[in-house]
Amino acid sequence: MRSLAFIFLVSVSLSASAQSAYDKYFTDKALRIDFALSGNINFQSAALIQLREEPTWGGPRKNLIDPFNYGGYLMFAYSAKDGQLVYSRGFNTLFEEWRTTDAAQYETQSWTNSIVMPFPRDSVRLVLLGRNRETNNNDTLMALDIDPSSIFIDRGRLHDNPVKDLQIKGLPAEKVDFVFLAEGYKSDELEKFFADADSLAEALFKTPPYDQRREDFNIRAVFVESADAGTDFSGKGIFKNTALNSGFYTFGLDRYLTTPDIKSIRDALWNTPCDAIFVIVNSEVYGGGGIYNYYAIGTADNERTKNVFVHELGHSFAGLADEYFTSDVAYNEFYNPDYEPWEPNITTLKDFDSKWKAMLPASTPVPTPLEEPYADKLGVFEGGGYVSKGVFRPMDHCMMRDYHPFCPVCTKSILQIIDYLSDK
């Protein structure tokens, strides 16, 4: 009994200490940093566009330092007073993917991006790092000294969009605040959007492991009106006037649905607690996309909509890689075979100890042959990350390959992210 009491007291003490750290360094508001990423296949750089104060920080207040080291970009915030690391987060961008396409070999482009952190009480130094694919190092792309009292921080109100609470289970800091966002819905389609969002939410909570963690989620649906219904199909010469400027044919792929307009997404959610975003596009065409700690997107009315939703959320929410290896993609050697990828569900075996090695029975060969008695078990099967050789996945079938149930490795990763964002 004494041991249990001691453990409880230590847990309470650590929790109080973490909350005290948040209160010391941050307010209840959020700081949005809009910045441009520019470059091509050979280089990239970052530059500030604007800073915005927003009314609500919906993220965790105890888990302020990102333990996962996921993403192509890493953001760190340090207290200017004592040099303490007070906040960090990893994320991906669509620009990062563009840099691996053919176009990046002969063009230089600039793309707008946004990151959000708790609003600091005192000055902080923000450092943005980008992973260097050739060296596996993290290069400094931008360093900013931010004074929270600066007159150059935009503190204005933006448009109040209609919001429907699909389920609220607790305070934003103690729950995963998941937001559905409307794209390509006209003014008279508000109720259709809310119904589409509710349908996807129910589908999520029927999918393991989310089905066991419903109580850890707040779900909201934010309606943004578009002038036209649907989305762009640039490969067919079809362009629509929509709120978030989404479209198929991203990087020339007909099924790859994204938007480069992250600013419009963040503007739409300026006053809504938000840990994860899914953009619902008012279309029946198959397709979607997911970018880690950025957003996921998919269509509302395709027969495979719910599968696409859960799959793309695997990318954006849990940092999971695609495990398929036979589909056409627009990337050129997206993973460097000389280094271990950061995604938790694929490996090049360069540092397999950091992946799911500890989850394997000692008798499992590495790599694992796709034959009995291993074929339907956890192993190390060649093929994943869009290539058939040199990249390995945990199981033959998984949601991240072909819409089968999540494998144990992906399941573990999803649960870890839920725990992190719900401050467990």
Strand positions, DSSP E, 58-135 = 73-79, 85-91, 109-120, 124-131
| pLDDT score of 7 | 43
The whole-angstrom separation of Cα 371 and Cα 357 is: 19
- Of 114, 88, 47, 164, the C-alpha closest to 267 is 114
The whole-angstrom separation of Cα 222 and Cα 190 is: 10
Query: What are 90's strand-pairing partners?
Result: 74
pTM here is: 0.94
| pLDDT score of 94 | 97
Q: Does the pLDDT of residue 360 top 60, yes or no?
A: yes
Q: What percent of the chain clears pLDDT 70, i.e. is strictly above it?
A: 94
The label of the residue with tokens 């978030």 reads: 244
Q: What is the pLDDT of residues 249-293, one digit of tens each?
A: 999 999 999 999 999 999 999 999 999 999 999 999 999 999 999
| pLDDT score of 14 | 44
- Of 37, 128, 40, the C-alpha closest to 332 is 40
Contact 345, 409 (CB under 8 A): yes
Q: Does the pLDDT of residue 1 top 60, yes or no?
A: no
Q: How far is CA 90 from the centre of its chain?
A: 9
Q: Does the pLDDT of residue 355 top 80, yes or no?
A: yes
Average pLDDT on 305-319 reads 98
Contact 133, 39 (CB under 8 A): no
The whole-angstrom separation of Cα 309 and Cα 313 is: 6
- Of 116, 264, 259, the C-alpha closest to 177 is 116
> Token pair of 323, please?
């495990």
Q: What is the pLDDT of residues 225-258, one digit of tens each?
A: 999 999 999 999 999 999 999 999 999 999 999 9
Average pLDDT on 391-408 reads 97
Q: Does the pLDDT of residue 333 top 80, yes or no?
A: no
Residues contacting residue 67 through CB under 8 Å, at least 6 positions apart: 420
What's the chain's average pLDDT?
94
| pLDDT score of 387 | 87
State the sign of the Cα–Cα–Cα–Cα dihedral 132, 262, 35, 127.
Answer: negative
Q: Does the pLDDT of residue 347 top 50, yes or no?
A: yes
| pLDDT score of 250 | 97
| pLDDT score of 202 | 98
Q: What is the largest CA-CA distance in the chain?
A: 71
Q: What is the pLDDT of residues 157-197, one digit of tens each?
A: 999 999 999 999 999 999 999 999 999 999 999 999 999 99
Rg, the chain, Cα only: 21
> Token pair of 195, please?
């119904």
Q: Does the pLDDT of residue 69 top 80, yes or no?
A: yes
The whole-angstrom separation of Cα 274 and Cα 75 is: 18
The whole-angstrom separation of Cα 411 and Cα 377 is: 14
